[in-house]
Amino acid sequence: MEFYLNAVLQGLCLSAMAFGIFISMKIFNIPDISTDGTYTLGGVISGFFISQSYNGFAIVGLVMVGGALAGAATGFIHTKLKVNALLAGILVMTALYSINLSILGQSNLPLLNYPTLFTVLNVFQNPTQNTLFIVASIVLILLIIVSYVLKSDFGLAMRATGNSQTMVRAMGVNTDTMKIIGLAIANALTALSGYLMTQLQGFADINMGIGIVIVGLGSVIMGETLINFFAITSVVKMLLTVVLGAVVFQLVLAFALSLGINPNLLKLITAAFVLLIVGLPRFLFKKAE
């Protein structure tokens, strides 16, 4: 039970990143690979400052600014220098590897003896319940903020940018700026996931972000299946399905591990699972078309 509860916690921690992927992938149609780097960036910034005995709450702003800058860099390279979005993401991800390593100073930094977000604040006696409460609250706050932004006039312009650039330009919106801001927001959220995960696991690792974009993508695609199935148009409900997708994803991985699968194969299973949820609907609905 504890095992699956931990998977739920991880899923909730990754929800922030899934919101980010929802913005970059679903709204802007940009596959943002820099996610792998910004997730780790969030992790190493938290790791560094927590190991310097900074308060877990105090550094949240720093983490998000770091992620936002990286995202803005991807957006700038893509829109202003006209580099293919995939390549722009790979460039930023590669550059971030060195930056992350410089910040962390070593490839793995254990934080078990330092106070974290989950030990500073004690609402419940039971540490797991306490962690669940804090993570769930953070996800709820993010859900409210992100859905507010997406429903605002600015958010409408952002959502329309991914839909029809011709239309949005004619509405007086600078689509380049919109994409840069959008990717900055997306990566700020991704860095936040790295921040949460580092404190949940009690260590920061230079390789923690490898393949994380696939996890986010898988969560969003699972959410999207629900969105299409129930014809959901409300932004809040869309984001809820994304959270659900992130949690279910981790539960599936936990289930695979509980079957006794070699943990070294976890990334292979992740990739296969995402391929399955991407490919299966096409395969199933092929006959109907």
Question: Using the rule CB under 8 A, which residue among 87, 167, 265, 275 binds another protein?
Answer: 167
Angstrom distance (rounded) from CA 176 to CA 168: 11
Q: Give exposure, 93-107, as e/b (b: 16+ Cβ within 10 Å).
A: beebbebbeebbeee
Q: Residue 204: beta bridge partners?
A: 109
Q: Is 130 in the site for another protein (CB under 8 A)?
A: no
Nearer to another protein, 149 or 261 (CB): 149
Q: Is 87 in the site for another protein (CB under 8 A)?
A: no
Question: Using the rule CB under 8 A, which residue among 69, 136, 156, 278 binds another protein?
Answer: 156
Q: Give exposure, 157-179, as e/b (b: 16+ Cβ within 10 Å).
A: bbbbbbeeeeebeeeebebbebb
At residue 126, φ and ψ (nearest 5 deg) are: -65, 120
> Near another protein by CB under 8 A, which window of 125-133, 172-180, 189-197, 266-274?
172-180
In sequence order, what are the residues at sequence separation of 6 or more whose Cβ sits closer than 8 angstroms to the Cβ of residue 263? 257
> Near another protein by CB under 8 A, which window of 56-64, 86-94, 146-154, 200-208?
146-154
Shortest Å distance, C-beta 134 to another protein:
27
Question: Using the rule CB under 8 A, which residue among 123, 172, 264, 284 binds another protein?
Answer: 172
Shortest Å distance, C-beta 186 to another protein:
17
Query: How is residue 191 written in tokens?
Result: 């860095």
Question: Using the rule CB under 8 A, which residue among 58, 81, 112, 170 binds another protein?
Answer: 170
Shortest Å distance, C-beta 195 to another protein:
24
Report CA-CA distances (Å) from 260 to 74, 201, 211, 253, 256.
39, 21, 22, 11, 7
Contact map string, positions 222 to 251, toward another protein, x by CB under 8 A? -----------x------------------
Amino acid at 194: G
The neighbour count for residue 120, using CB atoms within 10 Å, is: 12
Nearer to another protein, 149 or 257 (CB): 149
Angstrom distance (rounded) from CA 221 to CA 218: 5
Distance, C-alpha 67 to centroid of its chain: 11
| Residue of 197, 213, 260 whose CA lies nearest to 43 | 197
> Near another protein by CB under 8 A, which window of 2-10, 49-57, 67-75, 173-181?
173-181
Question: Using the rule CB under 8 A, which residue among 60, 168, 221, 242 binds another protein?
Answer: 168
Nearer to another protein, 101 or 160 (CB): 160
Whether residue 38 contacts residue 71, with contact meaning beta carbons closer than 8 Å, is answered with yes
> Near another protein by CB under 8 A, which window of 63-71, 107-115, 168-176, 183-191?
168-176
List binders of another protein among 175-194 (CB under 8 A): 175
**Interface with another protein: number of residues (CB under 8 A):** 24
Nearer to another protein, 47 or 75 (CB): 75
Name the residues that contact another protein, by CB under 8 A: 148-149, 151-157, 159-160, 163-164, 166-175, 233
